[in-house]
Amino acid sequence: MNDTLHWLDVEDIAEELEEAHREVDPLRLGFPTLRALVEALPNFAERPGHPCNERILETIQAHWIELRGGAPAGDDD
């Protein structure tokens, strides 16, 4: 089994970020910082043909907020 994460593993990335960066408030995180945190995860590797974009970063951030007890990811209310 391959444990390497890439940009499309948004839920797993959010879980890894929650474990590695409990001191960080995902609500106050800008996308450049979020991208850097993801790229710094020890088991992260970008795959050719799957680059990062704003939608991916938004989704990772939403899942991370959900893990913190915020609104469910995808809930626009």
Query: In the chain, where are the structural domains located?
Result: 10-67
Chunk the chain into consecutive blocks of 10 residues (it has 77) and report each block's average pLDDT, rounded to whole numbers. 86 97 95 98 93 96 93 53
In angstroms, the CA 10 to CA 1 distance is 18
Query: Check: CATH 1.10.10 for 10-67?
Result: yes
pLDDT at 15: 97
| Helices 54-67 & 10-20 angle (0-180, nearest 10) | 50
Residue ranges in the chain assigned as alpha helix (H): 10-20, 31-40, 54-67
pLDDT at 1: 38
In terms of C-beta density within 10 A (0-12 exposed, 13-18 middle, 19 or more buried), how is residue 67 classed?
Answer: middle
